[in-house]
Structure 1
Amino acid sequence: MKLKYLLLTFCALFFITAVKAQEPAASAEIILKEAYQQAAKQKKNVFVIFHASWCGWCHKMDEAMNDASCKSLFNDQYVICHLVVNESPQNKKLENPGAQEVLAKFHGDKQGIPFWLILDKNGKLLADSQIRPQDAGLEVIGENIGCPSKKEEIAAFTKILKHTSRLTEQQLGVISKRFEAINTGH
């Protein structure tokens, strides 16, 4: 009897897992709506990262932001969400419907990934991952920082973080140091 019960339990868990694995990815609209609601409640901005499963630099960005030295700094200041775009044909099911359109809306569709945005609780663009000429507005297309790893990219990234959060100079220094480690492999 115990064997029969265990077998039934295993089959039920297998079926539930198989069904869940086949669920389509959430739409960009739903992900952003939930992020805006959370940001409004927590008085934060929204940090949106466009990425794909094959993208090494996307993984490096996630690793740096989720590193023990930085994770709470980002999570205390931002509601962080990911939108999957540009997947390989065998992984198209991972893409969030509507994410490519959001990426295009913010001029990131020809920039490469990771591409990121910082939005306020109402979806207003505050900053993105483009380095622009001095005093150029957000409407000017710049060069994508992506995952900051070079000195000038890290400087631009921390400047953006300073203007879109309440991070202190010391905290920005911790983030800067962690992103500098990307080049050294530490």
Structure 2
Amino acid sequence: MKKILFLSLTLLLAFTAVTFAQTAVPSSDEIMTKAYARAKKENKKVMVIFHASWCGWCKKMEASINEPNLKKFFDDNYVVVYLTVQESKGKENLENPGALDLMTKYKGDKAGLPFWFITDVNGKALADSQERPAGAGLDTYGDNVGCPASEKEVAYFAKILKSTSKLNDKEIAMISERFAKNKE
């Protein structure tokens, strides 16, 4: 009887360990559905940032957005979500299922990382990280600014923030100043 109990407990523990080790990464659909619902409830836009564990510029972007004196500006205006794509060989398990398809849908498949876009609560694209010639729509490819750092990239990012948020000029200036430090 003791052997059966011991064997049962051992199998139960092994099964539990395997189950916890295989916790599924949420799909892009799951993440976006929650983001749109929250944005609608809180009257915000959705900022989607595609990143990968190997991407240094992605880490700079996330660190800039989450800097203590700026985080509230983003949190007050956007539901910010991160989707993992284009992972290195052996780390594909970190990718959000469906995220690469979403990136392609929003014309980010040729952009590099980080790629980001901003939508309304219904998923309508309002802006993205690709700077395009005047008059070109979001349905065309442009030059990806990724994590803004140069003067031109930061100015583009500031223009996007101004058009998609309630941020005032002082707040945008603070964000711009921080992102300019990414060049260093």
TM-score by length of 1: 0.88
Match of 2:104 in 1: 104
Cα shift at 1:74: 0.4
Q: Which amino acid aligns with 2:116?
A: W
Tell me, yes or no, if the aligned pair for 2:161 and 2:167 is still in contact at 8 Å.
yes
Match of 1:80 in 2: 80
Q: Do structure 1's residue 172 and structure 2's residue 164 form an aligned pair?
A: no
- Cα pair distance change 1:181/1:42, threshold 3 Å: same
Secondary structure at 1:69's aligned position in 2?
helix
The structure with the larger Rg is: 2
Match of 2:37 in 1: 37
Cα shift at 1:22: 2.2
Deviations 1:59-110 (A, max 9, x none): 0000000011211100110000011100012111110000010011111111
Q: Do structure 1's residue 120 and structure 2's residue 128 form an aligned pair?
A: no
- Any residues of structure 2 matched to 1:142-157 within 5 Å, and which? 142-157=142-157
Gaps of 5+ in 2: 1-12
Deviations 1:143-163 (A, max 9, x none): 001000000000000100000
**Deviation larger for 130-139 or 147-156:** 130-139
Distance 1:116 1:16 in 2: 37
- Cα pair distance change 1:105/1:18, threshold 3 Å: same
Q: Do structure 1's residue 129 and structure 2's residue 129 form an aligned pair?
A: yes
Match of 2:6 in 1: none
Runs of at least 4 residues of structure 1 off by over 2 A?
15-22
- Number of residue pairs matched by the alignment: 173
Tell me, yes or no, if the aligned pair for 1:83 and 1:99 is still in contact at 8 Å.
yes
Percent identity for Structure 1 against Structure 2: 48
- Cα pair distance change 1:168/1:89, threshold 3 Å: same
Match of 1:9 in 2: none
TM-score by length of 2: 0.89
Secondary structure at 1:118's aligned position in 2?
strand
Match of 1:71 in 2: 71
Match of 1:56 in 2: 56
- Cα pair distance change 1:17/1:179, threshold 3 Å: farther
CA RMSD of aligned residues (A): 1.8
